[in-house]
A and B are shown apart, each in its own frame.
Chain A
């Protein structure tokens, strides 16, 4: 009389087990107590012994298959006895389906929980295999699984461990905890991998990225910049201003500095000074666009973009129109220093604090860019590097003249192209005719 072997239920929560090894094959004679097959749950591995003597008539599953508990696995009996009655009818197809669903879940779970578990290919790995891999510090993303659908099972991980050079217990511990990999050749006994032979995973082929949480400051910048582009109609005009006058003034300042003059007026200070002068003549650019109304400022509060270690900061210089160029220069320097130190008054950083903003990338050699408006301001001036450009010097003579690039981004909701251009041209004129006493 044929005897059917079922997959035991190992514990209340276990729904299926994976057959990890068949010790007998179809047609083998088995004795009572001999091991038929080994199987594993997510927590432990077991061996199933033959309860009766006889011939192994049929195996319904293969190594690597996941078998629901209490399902028929194989049949022992006398040669020739029919076994079809025991075949899990249609259950096998269902099983495979279950496996696939579970695999997907596990892969999703793994990506979120552990940096080791990036699965490539089919990606699925049995929980026991995963435990072992993590304990031994084995990166399993490149292992070709031998389970159903390429699922990685425990013996696949074991094979990888065996093919590696021996790793000392300390190296294993450190590899597991610090996500390091053993190098292919060790410096220890018989070439074993010691703690000092561990290396970080290959930056090109393995962990080629790192996910970091945004700092609050970054979040804030991201939000404002995105909102600016979403909630305005901004575009940029580019124009060059003859920089000869400015460069000459700069030379004078340098010379004066050498003779003890206390204020080092930079090109940027001069541009900002010119912008303030232009804004006086174009109050429509010194404004906030509020949707159904426009707020025109009587005073000029100049926002200055400052590059710091923590990110971009745009503090405002209040009442910039009251300042001489020396005063403006001093304030710009002080405010930049307090930004970099993190000591800036937060109220000055608010985008409402400034009525117009200047962002200077000329130092870095940028020739043209499209600065993003700090809403609700209606414009921002990008200052570019100085480049020599051919210019008609009169009488058909051309010469190379240094030009400073100016990029004005404005909100077309508040300003039209004509006004914006005239304003930009005014800035250029102010730059070209800059006048101040040292």
Chain B
């Protein structure tokens, strides 16, 4: 006995649940299949829980630093288990919210593993929990999982070796933490545990942390965290793990560092196996599902969105990709653009960027002009960031002055970077930007100030 749908979605993360919601709202008959909790990695073991914990850490940091602002507190302490409990509460609330939205838009949610059986004239057949569903269109958004590099002695994730998943389930704060991989995930956990007094060591293979972000600001952030007590080993290659000891080679010498826990955050790999992708002949590209700008795979009526495509690995990219699929299915011509996707690292200070970096512009031979200003040029930043660092950098096209990239280090850059995304999406030039009114006093004004310094 099979049920037919306009759209079947495998994977309930930011690509899947957003696509389900939009499609349901447009009146499509949608089934969303998720083997775990709705919300995917983002809600359950990524964006949301980490931001919740990082906010606890920030409150703690602020309380410790409160005397700088004329506020005296008694001895400041924290309760790790309460922080973790609050994180659970937040996650549960948001996951529940996604469930409500699915109900509201008449999306049928099936909590089970999906297996694609094949494609026929009726549509794509998927077996799920002993039943069969048939759908005219299929959206695959099975996400990604932590990549475990082939390092001798590195065991599977568990008590000692952690990925983003295990580290969020710790019952006690570790005294020391070794992080293999200085990307966004590594840096955010480093920031959290550094605030709580854990001795943190980061080992990064490349010559700077946070590859892909503005290099100058990455270096500023690394120096800031060095002052706060994190040990960075860049251009360092992990050669072996022996129990709690991580060996790495740097400048021809091998040294080691021990940690109560070891976090592996060297990257993620798309989930493409185990659900019958091969039964309909979906083509892969560098480990991810190959898609075009409308998120179409090589198989008609089969789409993919989110981490499973293997290139952006950001929740907001995934959601937008899901929307592109639904828009095209419901008669609105839409296509994915990747040139204005903002990225935020929730360290303290936050580090945000959108568009081209100087490094990527040079690599693509794009002629640009650059202007930068310390965040101290914005009054509100001075008022709220005693001794804090910050920098805003704007890249414009050399000939026409269009905004190519904006990078801001400083709090709360994550909340204002979208303005720059809009400028890039709309191909605004600095001439138009100069006419936009920014509220005063806000930190967002730094964007305008920097524009005016060209």
Q: Give the complex CA separation of A317 and B397 in angstroms.
A: 57
- Least Cβ–Cβ distance between A386 and chain B, in angstroms: 53
Query: A186-208 interface mask toward B, CB cutoff 8 Å, 1 = contact, 0 = none?
Result: 01110110110000000000000
Q: A50 interface residue, CB < 8 Å from B?
A: no
Q: Is the CB of A169 within 8 A of B333?
A: no
**Is B258's beta carbon under 8 Å from chain A?**
no
B427 at the interface (CB under 8 A from A): yes
Chain A min CB distance to B326 (Å): 16
Chain B residue nearest to A166 (CB atoms) is B426
Known: A170-B402, A173-B400. A188 touches B333 (CB 8 A): no
In the complex, A205 Cα to B341 Cα: how many Å?
Answer: 39
A57 at the interface (CB under 8 A from B): no
Is A267 at the interface (CB under 8 A from chain B)? Answer: no
- Other-chain contact of B335, A168, A173, A187 (Cβ < 8 Å): A187
Contacts A188-B427, A194-B427 given; does A169 touch B432 at CB 8 Å? yes
Complex alpha-carbon distance, A185 and B397, angstroms: 24
**Chain A: CB-nearest residue to B400:** A173
- Interchain CB contact under 8 A, A170 and B427: yes
Any A CB within 8 A of the CB of B431:
yes
A189 lies within 8 A of B333 (CB): no
Chain A: which residue is nearest B426 at the CB level? A168
Indicate with 1 or 0, residue by residue over B313-340, a CB within 8 angstroms of chain A CB atoms.
0000000000000000000010101000
B333 surroundings in chain A (CB, below 8 A):
185, 191
Tell me, yes or no, whether B428 is within 8 Å of chain A by CB. Answer: yes
Encode A159-179 as 1/0 by CB contact (under 8 A) with B.
000000000111101100000
- Which of A169, A187, A194, A195 gathers most chain B CB within 10 Å? A169
Judge whether B428 and A168 touch: CB under 8 Å: yes
A174 to B427 Cα, complex, angstroms: 11
Please name all residues of chain A whose beta carbon is closer than 8 Å to the beta carbon of B240 when the two chains form the complex: none
With a cutoff of 8 Å between Cβ atoms, the chain B residues found around residue A185 in the complex are 333
> Once the chains are docked, how many angstroms separate the CA of A65 from the CA of B425?
42
Select one of B397, B425, B427, B432 contacting A171, CB under 8 A. Answer: B427
Q: Contacts of B400 on A, CB cut-off 8 Å? A: 170, 173-174
CB of B429 within 8 Å of the partner chain: yes
Q: In chain A between 132 and 176, which residues have their CB closer than 8 angstroms to a CB of chain B?
A: 168-171, 173-174
Q: Cβ of A169: which chain B residues have Cβ within 8 Å of it? A: 402, 426-429, 431-432
> Once A and B bind, how many residue pairs between them come within 8 Å at the CB atom?
34
A residues near B335, Cβ cutoff 8 Å: 187
Which residue of B402, B426, B431 contacts A192 across the interface (Cβ within 8 Å)?
A: B426
**What's the nearest-Cβ distance from chain A to residue B340, in Å?**
9
With the chains together, A171 CA to B431 CA distance in Å?
14
User: Is A189 a contact of B425 with CB atoms below 8 Å?
Assistant: yes
B429 touches A188 (CB 8 A): no
Q: Which residues of B contact A170 (CB under 8 A)?
A: 397, 400, 402, 427-429
Are B337 and A195 touching (Cβ within 8 A)?
no
Q: How far is the CB of B160 from chain A (nearest CB, A)?
A: 48
Residue of B nearest to A192 (CB): B426
A169 to B333, CA, bound (A): 22
Closest to A171 in B: B427
Give Cα distance in the complex from A195 to B335, angstroms. 16
Whole-angstrom distance from the CB of B374 to the nearest CB of chain A?
28
Looking at B333, B335, B337, B426, which has the most chain A CB atoms within 10 Å of its CB? B426
Q: Which of B337, B427, B428 has the most CB of A within 10 A?
A: B427
Chain B 412-430, CB-CB to A under 8 Å as 1, else 0, gives 0000000000000111110
**Which residues of A lie under 8 Å from residue B397 when comparing CB positions?**
170
Within the assembled complex, what's the spacing in Å between the Cα atoms of A168 and B426?
6
Cβ proximity bits A97-137 to B, threshold 8 Å, 1 near / 0 not: 00000000000000000000000000000000000000000
Residues of A within 8 A of B431 (CB): 169
Q: Are A188 and B337 in contact (CB under 8 A)?
A: yes
* Closest residue on chain B to residue A185 by CB atoms: B333
Q: Which residue of A lies closest to B402 (CB)?
A: A170
Known: A170-B402, A173-B400. A189 touches B426 (CB 8 A): yes
How far, in angstroms, from A331 to B21 measured CA to CA in the complex? Answer: 82
Q: Are B425 and A173 in contact (CB under 8 A)?
A: no
A192: min CB distance to chain B, Å: 7
Alpha-carbon distance between A192 and B397 when the two chains are bound, in angstroms? 20
Name the B residues within 8 Å of A168 (CB-CB): 426-428
A421 CA to B337 CA, complexed, in Å: 75
- Chain B residues near A187 (CB, 8 Å)? 335, 337
Across-interface contacts of B428 in A (CB, < 8 A): 168-170
CA of A407 to CA of B431 in the docked complex: distance in angstroms? 68
Least Cβ distance of B256 to chain A in Å?
51
Residues from chain A with a CB closer than 8 A to the CB of B432 are 169
Task: Give bound CA distance, A189 to B400, whole Å.
Answer: 20
How far, in whole Å, are A194 and B337 apart by their CA atoms in the complex? 11
List 12 contacting pairs A-B, 8 Å CB cutoff, sorted by A: A169-B429, A170-B402, A170-B429, A171-B427, A173-B400, A174-B400, A187-B335, A188-B425, A188-B426, A191-B333, A192-B426, A194-B427
Q: A168-B426, A169-B402 are in contact. List 5 more A-B contacts (CB 8 A).
A: A170-B429, A173-B429, A174-B400, A187-B335, A194-B427
